[in-house]
Amino acid sequence: MTLPFLTLSCGKTKLRLVKTSKFGDSQAQFSKIIANLEVTMSVVKKVPMTEDATLPLTPLGFAAPKQQYLAQKNEIDQAITRVLTSEQYILGREVAAFEQEFAAYCGVAHAIGVANGTDALHLALRALNIGAGDEVITTPMTAVATVAAIGMSGAKAVFADIRPEHGLLDLAKLSGVVTPRCRAIMPVHLYGHPLNMAELLAWAAQHHVAVIEDCAQAVGAEIDLVAPNAPLTRHKMGSLGVMGCFSFYPTKNLGAMGDGGAVITQDAGLAAKLRGLRQYGWSTSRNSEFPGYNSRLDEIQAAILRVKLPHLDANNLRRRRIAEAYLHGLSGIPDLRLPWPTANTHPAWHLFVMQCRSSKQSPDLRDKLKEYLASQRIHAGIHYPVPIYQQPAYRQAYPHLSLPVTEAVTATVLSLPIYPELSLVEVERVIRAIKGFFAQ
């Protein structure tokens, strides 16, 4: 017996519904099922489709911490269980082991785990006894945590303008803002791009200023330094200043499943001071030798980071391949300024941030492109839309400050999806969407 059927279609996708005995004899039941399917198919038609119009587009964000977890799920779950059954939950074996492994990875003698990246910066300043009345030079083109940490110490952040091509501190502007009150400079290796450390260290030595590297976005990034009559030497970011500070926020290249941070240093005295500062200034007998804080890396987070650390270089290499695909795929679009690496640097590519060149004809080019990408279910970010000194919390402290390059760059930056689990097919989809926008 031939059974009646109904075929619904959406693009190349067809659904054949056959009326079998499972529906019973009720024509009303069959009609209700058909009506529900028709509603479903009408919704599917409104979703942006892939090139062959067979499947809805997968949403793409500029980061994907869940995918990072799933990539190492078994190892991470085992590490968490190991901590839960250890009865050591604060500054135990996992933190001690991670500190040793992370210090070795960075090429330094000491790593000190702390609660988060902001605390890493704050405690580094405190370890140098920097506080009220002191000044710290930094960039206005950064996450607010950099400046918040300076404020927590009691010091004042002093801003220098940036270079337009990559958003890093303009080292030529430093001498114009340094004063006798300046105790430190806090360079940010923005988006994972290393700053010219050879030039910065020379300037800092000339002005007797300590260098505290903000490496929150640059774990694994490297730079080649040239010495007279010597071969190039490669260094991890964070290992060249007096201290390097890291964040293990979940979306970072080395991300925990919560907050976490670390300070690295070659100086044993600073390392001991930092270990005291993170825990009330305690000595081994739990006497507070000096005022301190509660800023300890959690055992569970340390165990997770130990799982992820051996994969960091491979993941950063994957990010580099994605960045290279973007650089070459988008290089022919004149309205875009792309983040080409500077000489002798090996970025970590925490973010891929390009600039949209606005004009009188299209003053809001960045926002229009971002909106168009969102319509294609590609969610771009903006890092960062407002200079620190123009934000409400800091505006009163810098009422007359204007840094023209920073203000121009913040109006044009757009972050594209980049994370190790992003496929090259998905990268090509982003490139096609951007080319499609400019071809309109």
Residue 159: predicted pLDDT: 98
When divided into structural domains, the chain yields a total of 3
Residue 31: predicted pLDDT: 56
Residue 45: predicted pLDDT: 37
CA atoms within 13 A on the CB side of 349: 28
Let me know whether 178 and 283 are in one domain: yes
Residue 42: predicted pLDDT: 39
Evaluate whether 153 touches 175 at the Cβ level (below 8 Å): no
Please give the structure tokens belonging to residue 121.
Answer: 């910066």
Report the share of the chain in percent with pLDDT over 70: 87
Let me know whether 279 and 349 are in one domain: no
Per-residue pLDDT, averaged over 356-366, amounts to: 83
Spatial neighbors of 160 by CB under 8 A, at least 6 apart, are 137, 138, 139, 169, 170, 173, 174, 176, 177, 403
Dist. CA 307–CA 375, nearest whole Å: 37
Instruction: Give the model confidence (pLDDT) of 71-127 as tens digits.
Output: 999 999 999 999 999 999 999 999 999 999 999 999 999 999 999 999 999 999 999
Last residue of a domain, one of 290, 310, 330: 310
Kindly state the helix (H) or strand (E) to which residue 29 belongs, with its residue range. Answer: helix 27-46
Phi and psi torsions of 229, nearest 5° = 55, 35
Q: Concatenated DSSP letters for 100-116?
A: HHHHHHHT-SEEEEES-
Let me know whether 199 and 341 are in one domain: no
- Tell me whether residue 99 is in a domain: yes
Residue 20: predicted pLDDT: 44
Residue 232: predicted pLDDT: 87
Sign of the Cα pseudo-torsion (25, 28, 33, 37, in order):
positive
User: pLDDT band at residue 28, thresholds of 50, 70 and 90?
Assistant: low
Phi and psi torsions of 125, nearest 5° = -65, -45
Residue 5: predicted pLDDT: 44
Spatial neighbors of 286 by CB under 8 A, at least 6 apart, are none
Q: Which domain holds residue 238?
A: 67-310
Cα 169 versus chain centre, distance: 18
Instruction: Give the model confidence (pLDDT) of 328-355 as tens digits.
Output: 999 999 999 999 999 999 999 999 999 9
Let me know whether 245 and 193 are in one domain: yes
Instruction: Give the model confidence (pLDDT) of 318-331 as tens digits.
Output: 999 999 999 999 99
Let me know whether 254 and 363 are in one domain: no
- Tell me whether residue 60 is in a domain: no
Last residue of a domain, one of 294, 310, 326: 310
Phi and psi torsions of 363, nearest 5° = -70, -20
Instruction: Give the model confidence (pLDDT) of 31-41 as tens digits.
Output: 554 454 443 34
- Tell me whether residue 51 is in a domain: no
Please give the structure tokens belonging to residue 352.
Answer: 């891929």
Instruction: Indicate whether 198 pLDDT > 80.
Output: yes
Instruction: Indicate whether 313 pLDDT > 50.
Output: yes
Instruction: Give the model confidence (pLDDT) of 397-423 as tens digits.
Output: 999 999 999 999 999 999 999 999 999
- Tell me whether residue 53 is in a domain: no
Last residue of a domain, one of 262, 287, 310: 310
- Tell me whether residue 158 is in a domain: yes
Give the closest residue to 138 by CA, choosing from 196, 185, 173, 97.
Answer: 185
Instruction: Indicate whether 50 pLDDT > 60.
Output: no
Let me know whether 270 and 246 are in one domain: yes
Phi and psi torsions of 94, nearest 5° = -70, -45
Maximal C-alpha separation, the chain:
96
- Tell me whether residue 128 is in a domain: yes
What CATH number does residue 397 fall under? 3.90.1150.10
- Tell me whether residue 396 is in a domain: yes
Dist. CA 372–CA 201, nearest whole Å: 43
Report the share of the chain in percent with pLDDT over 90: 82
Residue 267: predicted pLDDT: 98
Instruction: Indicate whether 49 pLDDT > 90.
Output: no
Evaluate whether 61 touches 263 at the Cβ level (below 8 Å): no
Instruction: Give the model confidence (pLDDT) of 217-272 as tens digits.
Output: 999 999 999 877 778 899 999 999 999 999 999 999 999 999 999 999 999 999 99
Dist. CA 302–CA 246, nearest whole Å: 13
Let me know whether 285 and 337 are in one domain: no
Let me know whether 419 and 319 are in one domain: yes
Residue 29: predicted pLDDT: 53
Dist. CA 76–CA 67, nearest whole Å: 13
* Cis peptide bond prior to 89, omega within 30° of 0: no
What CATH number does residue 83 fall under? 3.40.640.10
* SS3 per residue for 339-364: CCCCCCEECCCCCEEEEECCCCCCCC
Phi and psi torsions of 213, nearest 5° = -80, 130
Q: Is 165 exposed, middle or buried (0-12, 13-18, 19+ CB in 10 A)?
A: middle
- Tell me whether residue 236 is in a domain: yes
Phi and psi torsions of 323, nearest 5° = -60, -40
Axis-axis angle for helices 93-106, 73-84 (nearest 10)? 140
Dist. CA 408–CA 129, nearest whole Å: 36
235: amino acid identity, one letter: H
Kindly state the helix (H) or strand (E) to which residue 183 belongs, with its residue range. Answer: strand 182-186
Please give the structure tokens belonging to residue 166.
Answer: 């990559």
Let me know whether 32 and 156 are in one domain: no
Instruction: Indicate whether 10 pLDDT > 90.
Output: no
Per-residue pLDDT, averaged over 51-61, amounts to: 67
Let me know whether 269 and 320 are in one domain: no
Residue 398: predicted pLDDT: 98
The number of residues in the chain equals 440
Let me know whether 266 and 317 are in one domain: no
Instruction: Give the model confidence (pLDDT) of 274-312 as tens digits.
Output: 999 999 999 878 899 999 999 999 999 999 999 999 999
Q: Coil, strand or helix: which one is 276?
A: helix
Dist. CA 13–CA 44, nearest whole Å: 11
Let me know whether 372 and 334 are in one domain: yes
Give the closest residue to 406 by CA, choosing from 138, 212, 150.
Answer: 138
